[in-house]
């Protein structure tokens, strides 16, 4: 029975129009949730959005009117700034609220549930005074799909609501359709008090708290998308937890279609830590994109199928240029709904970011305020024109390479899984695992990457980041790996597992590959998944043969690929690989209490294979010696 008091509160507090929209959704738990946070946060007004075009348009206009976004010269483009110290995900203040007796392991940031709930509710009290609260409904995944999860977002930021309209499918009608049966995720966000530049000012009280029990995520005193756009990384945590209970996977993976001969399209899912080329890979010209960041994967009748819970991209803009990223480039230069964040705005209301074609403007406006070339911050460091984690947000319907299966409620069949990291000295550019278990362990669980500007903290430090999902895990790591191992069982033809490394350097520190070489690695993986090319067995996996790459480089990039290139890039670095195994083993021995035994067994087998090769050939072994 619906509580009369809740309904009365909603009717009086929200007004007739808003009340009617909510009453159409037959779900007392939802009504209760909204009533609770309206009462606690005390917004000046509430706007329940039923997803009409007009309502969605009004929210965008509101973002401009309030100053959270500013219009740019190209029609439909706006810019948003986050505070100077609010430019990335805040790992330190992102915590799981766990009841007594629940332990997710030492690598997962957590605090006692009731204490955390009290703290966050104290911060939320009256926090929306002077602001409007938006009540938004979204559908994570295609409509009417058994993959999908409905979600409700409460936020006082029109920028967050506007971003979510570009990134997620509207969910009001799904809530009406599902009524009481909706098992939805809940998000409460407040940007908190804003300064004159409309950026969150109480950064010391920035918090992202995740309550798995009630599936609520709270985010306060922050605007940066990774902390505030509830349906993105905040939703991943409860979704990983659900997936674990129900036998499927929520992954930090793109989904893309790679074209093969005769119009064939083969779908791959790829996990890369942030700022390691994930979006750029999924956007490659000539291929098709289903998603650039998150995937829900399920086993169905002996195959793995996946959907993208998102429909837009919140992508890194640094380095985007007309030669390497022609499709994004075009979308970012055409009229249409695009939000730029933390870029440099020029006097002509254009935007500049690091690595864009053309020269660096001498003056402009950026996340530090008025900016001129050479401007320094307090500690004397130069402020770059745009932040390395500056982003663009757009709906994938603007992209010419969007895959026609994006909204298929059944998802697409995944034939290959790719793990990539930022690794300057160990792994070859592309390699296939011997089998599912070997891939999950040596390529997924052992994934290492150098830290980047996507999270607050020091850059360039090598860290282990299993499946590139460590930041988002809501279950113990050992259990998570066990889930992956099990996921590959009972399949007719498990997807092949590959690793890629776009960041290998020579001894002088130069990158050994061109940005576009990834197009070739993808084609090679596509051919492998159809058993059309052979491979060379090495102690760490299966690598391409020179003659296949030579042909593919010519066909795909019209580039000459010499034996010398091949030897340099695919030389097995034995000592580095052994050191990596030691690091990974130590991590799983000392930091993870529930590591599956298979992790140690498979790593040890790999170590033995490496030692044998080392005895015969030394520390640097040309691929020709292994063929």
Between 270 and 488, CB nearer to ligand SPV: 270
Q: At its nearest, how many Å lie between ligand SPV and the CB of residue 452?
A: 8
Between 78 and 282, CB nearer to Mn ion: 282
Between 225 and 541, CB nearer to ligand SPV: 225
Q: Is 423 in the site for Mn ion (CB under 5 A)?
A: no
Q: Is 494 in the site for ligand SPV (CB under 6 A)?
A: no
Q: At its nearest, how many Å lie between ligand SPV and the CB of residue 279?
A: 8
**Interacting partner of 232 out of Mn ion, ligand SPV, none (Cβ under 5 to 8 A depending on kind):** ligand SPV
Bridge partners, residue 171, by sequence: none
Q: At its nearest, how many Å lie between ligand SPV and the CB of residue 240?
A: 14
Interface with ligand SPV in residues 528-567 (CB under 6 A): none
Between 452 and 513, CB nearer to Mn ion: 452
Which residue in the set 55, 292, 293, 423 belongs to the binding site for Mn ion (CB under 5 A)?
293
Q: Which stretch binds ligand SPV (CB under 6 A): 224-232, 348-356, 398-406, 457-465?
A: 224-232
Residue with tokens 């994109």: 289
Reading the block at residue 349, the tokens are: 């209301």
Q: Is 226 in the site for ligand SPV (CB under 6 A)?
A: yes
Residue ranges with strand state E in 451-590: 462-464, 496-500, 535-538, 541-544, 572-573
Q: Which stretch binds Mn ion (CB under 5 A): 215-223, 268-276, 325-333, 415-423?
A: 268-276
Residue with tokens 């709904």: 337
Q: Is 233 in the site for ligand SPV (CB under 6 A)?
A: yes
Question: CA nearest 389: which of 331, 449, 322, 340?
Answer: 340
Q: Which stretch binds Mn ion (CB under 5 A): 68-76, 195-203, 271-279, 472-480?
A: 271-279
* Paired sense of beta strands 265-271 and 412-420, if any: parallel
Residue with tokens 């129900």: 246
Q: Is 225 in the site for ligand SPV (CB under 6 A)?
A: yes
C-beta of residue 185 within 8 angstroms of C-beta of residue 237: no
Between 230 and 541, CB nearer to ligand SPV: 230
Which residue in the set 331, 454, 556, 599 belongs to the binding site for ligand SPV (CB under 6 A)?
454
Interface with ligand SPV in residues 158-187 (CB under 6 A): none
Q: At its nearest, how many Å lie between ligand SPV and the CB of residue 471?
A: 8
- DSSP letters, 141-152, are SSTT-TT-EEEE
Task: From residue 598, give the alpha-carbon distance in Å to each of 11, 341, 442, 482.
Answer: 57, 44, 11, 9
Q: Which helix (H) or strand (E) holds 45?
A: strand 45-48
Q: Is 292 in the site for Mn ion (CB under 5 A)?
A: no
Q: At its nearest, how many Å lie between Mn ion and the CB of residue 507?
A: 32
User: Residues for the chain: how many in total?
Assistant: 627
Residue ranges with strand state E in 292-377: 295-300, 303-307, 312-316, 338-341, 344-345, 351-352, 363-366, 369-372
11-20, long-range: CB within 8 Å, 24+ apart, which pairs?
A: 13/38, 13/39, 13/46, 14/38, 14/46, 14/48, 15/46, 18/46, 18/47, 18/48, 18/135
Interface with ligand SPV in residues 245-274 (CB under 6 A): 274
Question: CA nearest 344: which of 79, 570, 602?
Answer: 79
Q: Which helix (H) or strand (E) holds 413?
A: strand 412-420
**What residues act catalytically?**
276
Which residue in the set 232, 367, 387, 415 belongs to the binding site for ligand SPV (CB under 6 A)?
232
**Interacting partner of 89 out of Mn ion, ligand SPV, none (Cβ under 5 to 8 A depending on kind):** ligand SPV
CA–CA distance, 450 with 108 (Å, rounded to integer): 19
Q: At its nearest, how many Å lie between ligand SPV and the CB of residue 455?
A: 7
Contacts with Mn ion, residue ranges (CB under 5 A):
274, 293
Contacts with ligand SPV, residue ranges (CB under 6 A):
89, 225-226, 232-233, 274, 293, 314, 454
């Amino acid at each position: 029975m619906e509580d009369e008091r809740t309904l009365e509160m909603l009717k009086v507090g929200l007004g007739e129009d808003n009340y009617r929209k909510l009453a159409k959704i037959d779900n007392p738990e939802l009504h209760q949730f909204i009533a609770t946070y309206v009462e606690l946060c005390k917004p000046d007004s509430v706007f329940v959005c039923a997803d009409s075009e007009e309502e969605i348009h009004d929210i965008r206009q509101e973002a401009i009117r309030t100053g959270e976004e500013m219009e740019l010269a190209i029609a439909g483009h706006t810019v948003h700034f986050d505070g100077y110290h609010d430019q990335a995900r805040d790992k330190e203040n992102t915590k799981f609220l766990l009841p007594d007796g629940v332990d997710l392991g030492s690598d997962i940031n957590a605090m006692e549930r009731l204490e955390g709930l009290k703290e966050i509710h104290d911060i939320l009290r009256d926090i929306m005074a002077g602001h409007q609260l938006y009540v938004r409904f979204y559908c994570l995944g295609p409509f009417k799909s058994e993959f999908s999860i409905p979600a409700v977002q409460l936020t006082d930021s029109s920028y967050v609501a506007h971003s979510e309209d570009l990134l997620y499918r509207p969910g009001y009608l799904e809530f009406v359709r599902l009524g009481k049966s909706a098992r939805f995720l809940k998000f409460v966000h407040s940007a908190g008090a804003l300064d004159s530049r409309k950026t969150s000012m109480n950064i010391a009280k920035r918090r992202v708290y995740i309550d798995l029990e009630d599936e609520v995520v709270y985010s306060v005193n922050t605007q940066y998308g990774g902390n505030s756009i509830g349906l993105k990384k905040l939703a991943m945590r409860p979704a990983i937890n659900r997936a674990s209970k129900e036998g499927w996977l929520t992954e930090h993976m793109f989904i893309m279609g790679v074209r093969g001969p005769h119009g064939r399209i083969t779908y791959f899912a790829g996990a890369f830590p942030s700022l390691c080329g994930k979006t750029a890979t999924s956007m490659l010209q000539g291929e098709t994109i289903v998603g650039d960041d998150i995937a829900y994967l399920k086993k169905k009748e002996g195959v793995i199928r996946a959907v993208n819970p998102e429909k837009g991209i919140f992508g890194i803009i640094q380095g985007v240029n007309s030669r390497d990223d022609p499709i994004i480039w075009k979308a970012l230069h055409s009229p249409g709904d695009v939000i730029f964040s933390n870029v440099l705005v020029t006097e002509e209301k254009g935007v500049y970011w690091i690595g864009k074609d053309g020269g660096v403007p001498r003056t402009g406006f950026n996340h530090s305020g008025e900016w001129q070339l050479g401007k320094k911050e307090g500690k004397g460091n130069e402020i770059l024109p745009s932040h390395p984690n500056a982003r663009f947000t757009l709906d994938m319907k603007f992209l010419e390479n969007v895959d026609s299966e994006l909204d298929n409620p059944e998802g697409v069949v995944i034939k290959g899984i790719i793990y990539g990291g930022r690794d300057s000295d160990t792994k070859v550019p592309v390699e296939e695992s011997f089998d599912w278990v070997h891939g999950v362990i040596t390529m997924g669980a052992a994934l290492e990457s150098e830290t980047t500007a996507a999270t607050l903290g020091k850059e360039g430090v090598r860290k282990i980041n299993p499946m590139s999902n460590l930041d988002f895990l809501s279950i113990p790591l050992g259990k998570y790996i066990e889930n992956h191992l099990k996921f590959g069982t009972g399949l007719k033809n498990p997807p092949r597992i590959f690793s890629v490394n776009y960041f290998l350097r020579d001894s002088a520190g130069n990158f050994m590959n061109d940005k576009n070489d990834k197009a070739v690695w993808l084609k090679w993986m596509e051919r492998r998944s159809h058993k059309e090319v052979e491979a060379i067995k090495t102690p760490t996996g299966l690598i391409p043969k020179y003659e296949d790459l030579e042909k593919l480089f010519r066909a795909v990039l019209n580039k000459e690929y010499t034996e010398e290139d091949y030897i340099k890039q695919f030389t097995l670095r034995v000592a580095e690989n052994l050191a990596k195994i030691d690091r990974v083993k130590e991590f799983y021995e000392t930091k993870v209490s529930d590591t599956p035994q298979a992790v140690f067994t498979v790593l040890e087998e790999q170590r033995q294979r490496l030692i044998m090769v080392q005895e015969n050939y030394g520390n640097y072994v040309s691929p020709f010696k292994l063929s």
